């Protein structure tokens, strides 16, 4: 489907103008010329529908306008090869990428996150969280384990993570491609994956490659709108914060995202 934006011209733009006007969002003259008035009307319409307010008419906007049946965004998944990803992961064994990349890409496609921005977001997140492109356990650090304390004792009583006391810190430490952390998250994603309470009873399942990939995709899907708003402003720090809650791994995240952005058409 053709994407319409500032500078576009033709009958498709005229159809867009007519539809916007019919819905009460005046785009100015119905002349087939996508100018500032059309962009402004489109942004207001997008905001009214909870869409990414970028002033660009793509599949989701056309579907919301009733001008298209499908809202699926164009996918770049078939362009994302192990060779390309290895350039985004200079310290990851290529065998890891070849082994786990298919699971990640399938999970993204299943959640309709195959567009360029979300694929880059997923891969850059893996670079920041695991480095070597494989699902892993969180390591001990001064941020999760006190001097002389048992492993992950600083997580034990983190009520913001849903933890309930001694043992929960270690049991529900970070795992997977995205470092899923805390009893609340294990409970939430176990249910979302149709696993009942299995992730809570057996948290190590979060390191299963297929499950880890699905958790990554679901986590990003939940924050897709806010992530894309951050990326629209080229704010990679905020995009990273929406996933991590802070700036841990920000340099790796930025490096991977920018390399991938230059390689994927």
CATH number, domain with residue 23: 1.10.101.10
Q: Is residue 16 part of a domain?
A: yes
Q: Is residue 71 part of a domain?
A: no
Do 131 and 99 reside in the same domain of the chain? yes
Q: Is residue 4 part of a domain?
A: no
Q: Is residue 1 part of a domain?
A: no
Do 128 and 141 reside in the same domain of the chain? no
Q: Is residue 257 part of a domain?
A: yes
Q: Is residue 72 part of a domain?
A: no
Do 146 and 119 reside in the same domain of the chain? no
Do 141 and 189 reside in the same domain of the chain? yes
Domain extent, residue 110, equals 77-135+213-263
Angle, CA of 111, 117 and 122, to the nearest 5°: 60
pLDDT at 1: 60
Which structure tokens are listed for 10? 């033709």
Rounded to 10 degrees, what is the CA torsion of 167, 170, 176, 182?
A: 50
Q: What is the total count of domains within the chain?
A: 3
Q: How do residues 179-228 score in pLDDT, each as one tens digit?
A: 999 999 999 999 999 999 999 999 999 999 999 999 999 999 999 999 99
Q: How do residues 89-135 score in pLDDT, each as one tens digit?
A: 999 999 999 999 999 999 999 999 999 999 999 999 999 999 999 99
Q: Which residues contact 169 (CB under 8 A, 6 or more apart)?
A: 144, 151, 152, 153, 154, 155, 156, 158, 163
CATH number, domain with residue 202: 3.30.20
% of the chain surpassing 90 pLDDT: 87
pLDDT at 248: 87
Q: Mean of the pLDDT values across residues 23-45?
A: 95
Do 202 and 143 reside in the same domain of the chain? yes
Do 20 and 43 reside in the same domain of the chain? yes
Q: How do residues 167-183 score in pLDDT, each as one tens digit?
A: 999 999 999 999 999 99
């Amino acid at each position: 489907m053709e994407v319409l934006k500032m500078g576009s011209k033709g009958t498709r733009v005229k159809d867009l103008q007519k539809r916007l006007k019919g819905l009460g969002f005046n785009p100015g003259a119905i002349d087939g010329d996508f100018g500032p008035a059309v962009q402004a009307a489109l942004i207001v319409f997008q905001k009214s529908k909870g869409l990414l307010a970028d002033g660009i008419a793509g599949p989701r906007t056309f579907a919301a306008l009733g001008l298209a049946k499908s809202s699926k965004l164009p996918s770049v998944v078939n362009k994302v090869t192990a060779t390309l990803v290895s350039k985004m992961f200079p310290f990851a064994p290529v065998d890891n990428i070849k082994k786990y990349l298919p699971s990640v890409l399938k999970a993204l496609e299943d959640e309709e996150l195959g567009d360029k921005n979300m694929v880059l977001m997923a891969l850059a997140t893996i670079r920041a969280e695991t480095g070597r492109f494989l699902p892993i356990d969180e390591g001990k650090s001064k941020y999760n384990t006190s001097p002389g304390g048992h492993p992950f004792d600083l997580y034990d009583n983190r009520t913001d993570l849903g933890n309930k006391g001694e043992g929960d810190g270690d049991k529900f430490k970070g795992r997977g491609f995205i470092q899923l952390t805390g009893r609340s998250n294990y409970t939430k994603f176990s249910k979302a994956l149709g696993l009942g309470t299995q992730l809570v009873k057996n948290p190590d399942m979060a390191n299963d490659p297929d499950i880890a990939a699905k958790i990554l995709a679901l986590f990003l899907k939940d924050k897709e709108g806010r992530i894309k708003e951050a990326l629209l402003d080229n704010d990679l720090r905020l995009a990273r914060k929406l996933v991590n809650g802070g700036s841990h791994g920000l340099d790796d995240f930025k490096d991977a995202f920018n390399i991938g952005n230059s390689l994927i058409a």
